[in-house]
Structure 1
C-alpha cells in the first residue's frame, strides 16, 4: 500500500487528537483511503516541552522550512489557529504544491477568497470541515449531500462554550459569572472568553456556512452580533414561565435573493429538539426546499471530535473527490446577494421592563407598542420591590425597526426606570 506523508502545524488539543485517531484507527483509515498515512513532521514552538504522547525521534520541528522544503510531504494540516502566522504558513505550503487541511475558522472567514484562489492557481485542495462545528460534518453535508436542494435557512447552536454556560445557568440556576468560571476551569472557555461569549466565534462560523449554502461571498462584518454577557437568571426564569429556553443561535435565511444573517441569544420553544442541546454539544438545523428540515447534532469541539473532522478531510483529499474550485462562493465567483439591514429583520420578541409601581404605566406602554404596530401576545408582571415592578412581554412577529422605535419612546416615559432586556424569539415556523 502506498504511503503518504503529512505534516501537522501545532500540537495542542486538536493536533493531539489527530495523532491519536491516525494511530488508533490506522487499519480502518488505510482501508478507506487506500493509503498508509505517516505524520512526517509536527511544527511546535518548543521541541523540548513535556508531552503526554511520546513521538518518534525527528518528528518534532520548530522550523517551518523543514516542512515547506520537504517535497515528500503532500498534505499540511494547520492547527495553529489565529491569524497572521497560520495564514502565511498555509500560503507558503500551497505554493510548494501541498494540499491544506485546517480547523481555522478565523482565517477561512477573513481570507477565504484569497486562500481558495491560491489553491486553485496552484492546483491543490483546501479543506476546512473542522473550522465550523467540530465533529459535525456540516460542510460536507452542504457540499455533497444537499446539492440537489436550494437551502432556505440554517439555524445553529455552533459554539460549545456559550451553550455550556447557558445550559448551566438554566439547569443549575447559577449566574453567568459562575457558569463562565466553571467553563474555564474545565477548559471549555479561554482565559479571555471574548471570542465565544461575545459571539465572534459563531459569526465566523456562520459566515463560512452561509457562503456555501447560499452561493455568495459573505462578509462576517455584515452579520448582526450579540453575545450572552447580559443574560441573567431573571431572563432564564421568565423564559421558562413563557415556555422557552435561551440559546445562542446563529441564523441564516434567504428570501427574495436577500440574506438575513444574525447571531444572538434567542428564546426557543422548550419542546423543540434544539432546546435540549446541552453542555458543549452543537446542533445545526438546515432547511432545504426538497429535503425539508434536517438536524445535525454532536460535539462541536474537543480533541477527538474536531480531530475526526480533520482526518476526514485528509481522507477526502487522498480520495480526491472534490475539486479545488468547489468553494466558489467563498472565492467570490457566484452571484452577489445583499445582506438585509438588521432593521428589516422580523421576529417575535421578549422584552423586560423595570417600572415604577404606578397606575397607568402598563396602559402607556401598551399604547406606544400599538402606535408602532407591535402587538403583545403574552404579558406578566411581578412586584419585586415596593418601589418597582418588572413587566415582561412576548410580542407577535414585528420588525426590528418597530421594536426599536417603540422602546425609544417607552424609555422616555416618566414611570419607566429601565429597559432591562430585549431577546429575540425563534419559533421555527
Structure 2
C-alpha cells in the first residue's frame, strides 16, 4: 500500500505510512511492516512448504522500504520499472535464496500491477509454469478471515485426534544435506544506484572508475539538474553483477568527499 501510494499519488513515505496506519493496513508502530520482518516470517513458512526443508527465520535476508524516496520511484519509472517490496525464494543449483527487500520490476510484469492493499504470491512450477495467487492482504476483514480459518483448522485437527492434516514441511526433500542457504554476497543481480554528489567536474568518472575496478559494468545513467556547489543526483543501472562486488564498490564510493549522502541501492528483478 505504501509504495503504491507513493507511486500513484507522488506522496512522501511518511504520509503514506500514516495513511496505512490510519486505514488499518499497517501496525502502529509500523516497524515490522516496513522493515521487511512481517514478510520474512511469511517467506520462511512458504519456503519450508515449497522446498520441504526447515527454513529458520534468522536465515532470511531482510531489508525495508524506509530509504525509498519519491525520487527513486520517479527514476525507476524512467527506466521502465516499478518498485515493490518482494519476498523472494528460489532454489538454484541446490542453493536456496530467501530474501526480502525492495525490488525494481518491469512495469509490464504481472507483479508490478499488484497495488494498494492487495498481496500476491507468484510461483513457477517445473511443469505448471507461472501462477499468480492474488487477493486482499491487509485490513480488518481479510485479517479476520485468516484468523478464523486458522481457528477452524485447529479445531478440525483437535476433533480428528491427529497432530496435523499436513506435515509441517508439506513434503520431505531427500538428500537435504545437499541443500544450503545462499549467502547474499553470492547473489547475481542488476542494480540501481542513486548517488547524491557535489556538482563538480570529474565526479562521474570517479564513480564509474571505482565500479569498473570491481568488475561492475554500467548499463544506463541519468544525471539531472545543475546546482553549482550543491548536491545533484546521479542515477545508474548496472549490468548483472555480484552482490559482494557491489558492497565493496559502494563502500569505496561512499568514502569519497564528493558524496553528500549515503548511496541508495535497489536490486532489479526481471521476472
Aligned length: 264
Q: Which residue pairs with 2:185 in the alignment? A: 343
8 Å contact from structure 1 (residues 211, 217) kept in 2:
yes
Does residue 407 of structure 1 match 2:250? Answer: yes
Matches within 5 A, 1:244-283: 244-283=81-120
8 Å contact from structure 1 (residues 361, 415) kept in 2:
yes
Q: Deviations over 1:300-332 (max 9, x none)?
A: 133443444555563794897x98273343899
SS of the aligned residue for 2:87 comes to strand
Does residue 324 of structure 1 match 2:159? Answer: no
Q: Deviations over 1:163-197 (max 9, x none)?
A: x1111111111101111111111122222111101
Listed as ranges, the gaps of 5+ residues in structure 1 are 1-163
Distance in 2 of aligned mates of 1:390 and 1:384: 10
Provide the TM-score with structure 2 as the length reference. Answer: 0.89
Distance in 2 of aligned mates of 1:219 and 1:378: 38
Matches within 5 A, 1:72-87: none
Distance in 2 of aligned mates of 1:340 and 1:315: 34
Distance in 1 of aligned mates of 2:110 and 2:197: 35
Determine which structure has more spread, i.e. the larger CA radius of gyration: 1
Does residue 358 of structure 1 match 2:200? Answer: yes
Distance in 2 of aligned mates of 1:310 and 1:229: 28
Cα distance change on mapping 1:331 and 1:354 into 2, 3 Å: same
Matches within 5 A, 1:91-240: 164-240=1-77
Distance in 2 of aligned mates of 1:380 and 1:315: 53
Cα distance change on mapping 1:282 and 1:353 into 2, 3 Å: same
Q: Deviations over 1:251-282 (max 9, x none)?
A: 00101111111101111111112111111100
SS of the aligned residue for 2:166 comes to helix
Per-residue deviation at 1:408?
1.6
Provide the TM-score with structure 1 as the length reference. Answer: 0.57
Per-residue deviation at 1:389?
2.3
8 Å contact from structure 2 (residues 24, 138) kept in 1:
no
8 Å contact from structure 2 (residues 24, 140) kept in 1:
no
Distance in 2 of aligned mates of 1:253 and 1:333: 15
Aligned residue among 219, 228, 233 for 1:390: 233
8 Å contact from structure 2 (residues 49, 171) kept in 1:
no
Q: Deviations over 1:53-93 (max 9, x none)?
A: xxxxxxxxxxxxxxxxxxxxxxxxxxxxxxxxxxxxxxxxx
Distance in 1 of aligned mates of 2:46 and 2:122: 12
Q: CA RMSD in A?
A: 2.5
Distance in 1 of aligned mates of 2:102 and 2:30: 16
Does residue 418 of structure 1 match 2:258? Answer: no
SS of the aligned residue for 1:245 comes to strand
8 Å contact from structure 1 (residues 212, 327) kept in 2:
no
Q: Deviations over 1:87-142 (max 9, x none)?
A: xxxxxxxxxxxxxxxxxxxxxxxxxxxxxxxxxxxxxxxxxxxxxxxxxxxxxxxx
